[in-house]
């Protein structure tokens, strides 16, 4: 089996290519840049291609049996220049069309729990929740619209399906995702304060294993939620400190204080050309209903299981301290 993986050098991508290689698949890693530590030394094909370049995508998919589409633009600050929508919606449309033109049999798209409308969800939340629509944050809406494109193709001859992971943590985060940067700072005793709330966290390696299951036994036209375990930001910081030995007590800002401080936090980030400690979107995410998510469907059909968050954090710290983290 030959598997093409878009976004192969990102955090999830680096885990996905390793998982498929370990299962004996031939892997073609596709990204805008492939000369990165994320895939250095691995026995795979490397192809430079952008999801906004349809001919390049079609050439990259040629000869492959499966496309795993990971390439995406993540944002917690809206879509100021339109790149979020271009990448997550038009890029996904291009990838689906290229897969069809290249004669690919199966297309597995990685979306996000953010595509689901969690507002007002009562009891256990699963794949039966509707997707978000107009009025949702730009990133959330882009992931929902990307899903609609992919699942719309499932009835047209392409075996297309969707996975929706929650917050991804774990090793092989060479590109330093936002969550990975947060963990690094927690391990080092950095960050002067914490924001209230928590989130459902899942290990990148468990998502990668579910992707193998999606390729081999997932049902076309279906969406699968991949949730792990809900942990508060405060507890996450404490666990990281216990693991690294750098323990630090930090105040948790009341929500109203965090909301009032948003303009200052974002202005400081702009002055420094960096990322803000938090935004309106990240505050909404950690206040959302992710405590009662169910991955029963993925467990039953894809063999998905989620390891404890503490194990993920220990392995991430171990990876960071080996000198192999880029």
Contact yes or no for 45/83 (Cβ under 8 A)? no
- Specify if 121 maps to a domain: yes
Q: Is the confidence at residue 143, as pLDDT, over 90?
A: yes
Residue 212 or residue 134, greater confidence:
212
**Model confidence band, residue 265 (pLDDT cutoffs 50, 70, 90):** confident
> 58 - beta bridge partners?
none
120 belongs to a structural domain: yes
pLDDT of residue 157: 75
Tell me whether residue 7 is in a domain: yes
Q: Is 298 exposed, middle or buried (0-12, 13-18, 19+ CB in 10 A)?
A: buried
Question: For position 91, what pLDDT does the model report?
Answer: 97
Which tokens sit at 126?
Answer: 């699963």
CATH of the domain at 66: 3.40.50.720
Q: Which of 25-39, 116-130, 312-326 has the highest mean predicted lDDT (pLDDT)? A: 25-39
When mean pLDDT is compared across 17-21, 29-33, 189-193, 285-289, the lowest value belongs to 285-289
Q: Evaluate whether residue 316 is within a structural domain.
A: no
Domain membership of residue 158 (yes or no) is yes
pLDDT digits (tens, 9 = 90+) for 217-263: 999 999 999 999 999 999 999 999 999 999 988 999 888 898 888 88
Per DSSP (E only), the strands in the chain are 2-6, 26-31, 45-48, 66-69, 106-110, 159-165, 167-169, 198-203, 223-226, 229-232
Residue 156 has pLDDT above 60, yes or no: yes
Q: The whole model's pTM is what?
A: 0.95
Closest to 294 measured CA to CA, from 60, 116, 94: 116
Cα–Cα dist 135/150, whole Å: 22
In DSSP terms, 165 is beta-bridged to 226
Q: How far apart are CA 247 and CA 301, in angstroms?
A: 41
248, part of any domain: no
Domain count, the chain: 1
Of 169-173, 194-198, 284-288, the one with minimum mean pLDDT is 284-288
- The arithmetic mean of pLDDT across residues 12-28, rounded, is 98
| pLDDT band with cut points at 50, 70 and 90 for residue 325 | low
What is the pLDDT at residue 322? 85
Q: pLDDT tens, 66-83? A: 999 999 999 888 898 999
pLDDT band at 277 (very low <50, low <70, confident <90, very high): confident
**pLDDT for 326 beyond 60:** no
> Would you please indicate which residues are annotated as catalytic (active-site) residues?
139
pLDDT averaged over every residue in the chain: 93
Q: Which residues contact 135 (CB under 8 A, 6 or more apart)?
A: none
Evaluate if residue 61 carries a pLDDT over 80: yes
Q: Would 189 be classed as within a structural domain?
A: no
Looking at the domain assignment, is residue 295 inside a domain?
A: yes
- How many C-beta atoms lie closer than 10 Å to residue 172's C-beta? 26
Q: Reply yes or no on whether the pLDDT at 271 is more than 90.
A: no
Return d(Cα 268, Cα 278) in angstroms, integer: 11
β-bridge partners, 42: none
Answer for the pair 162, 147: CB distance below 8 angstroms, yes or no. Answer: yes
pLDDT score of 155: 65
Task: Give percent of the chain with pLDDT exceeding 90.
Answer: 77
Domain that holds residue 209: 2-175+199-230+291-309
């Amino acid at each position: 089996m030959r598997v093409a993986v878009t976004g192969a050098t990102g955090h999830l991508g680096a885990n996905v290519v390793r998982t498929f290689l370990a299962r004996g698949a031939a892997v073609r890693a596709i990204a805008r840049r492939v000369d990165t530590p994320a895939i250095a030394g691995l026995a795979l094909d490397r192809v430079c291609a952008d999801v906004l370049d349809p001919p390049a995508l079609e050439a990259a998919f040629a000869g492959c049996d499966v496309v795993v589409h990971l390439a995406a633009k993540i944002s917690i600050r809206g879509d100021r220049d339109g790149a979020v929508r271009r990448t997550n919606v038009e890029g996904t449309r291009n990838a689906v069309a290229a897969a069809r033109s290249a004669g690919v049999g199966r297309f597995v798209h990685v979306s996000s729990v953010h595509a689901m409308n969690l507002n007002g969800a009562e009891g256990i939340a699963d794949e039966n929740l509707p997707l978000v629509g107009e009025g949702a944050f730009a990133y959330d809406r882009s992931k929902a619209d990307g899903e609609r494109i992919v699942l719309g193709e499932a009835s047209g001859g392409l075996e297309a399906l969707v996975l929706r992971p929650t917050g991804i943590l774990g090793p092989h985060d060479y590109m330093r995702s936002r969550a990975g940067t947060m963990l690094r700072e927690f391990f080092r005793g950095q960050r002067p304060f914490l924001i209230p709330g928590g989130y459902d966290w899942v290990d990148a390696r468990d998502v990668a294993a579910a992707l193998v299951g999606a390729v081999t036994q997932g049902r076309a036209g279906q969406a699968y939620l991949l949730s792990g375990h809900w942990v508060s930001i405060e507890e996450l910081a404490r666990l990281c400190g216990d693991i690294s030995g750098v323990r630090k007590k930090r105040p948790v800002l009341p929500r109203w204080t965090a909301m009032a401080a948003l303009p200052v936090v974002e202005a400081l980030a702009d002055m420094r050309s960096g990322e803000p400690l938090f935004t309106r979107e990240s505050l909404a995410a950690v206040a959302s209903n992710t405590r009662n998510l169910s991955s029963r469907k993925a467990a039953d059909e894809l063999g998905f299981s989620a390891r404890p968050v503490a194990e993920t954090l220990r392995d991430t710290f171990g990876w960071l301290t080996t000198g192999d983290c880029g």
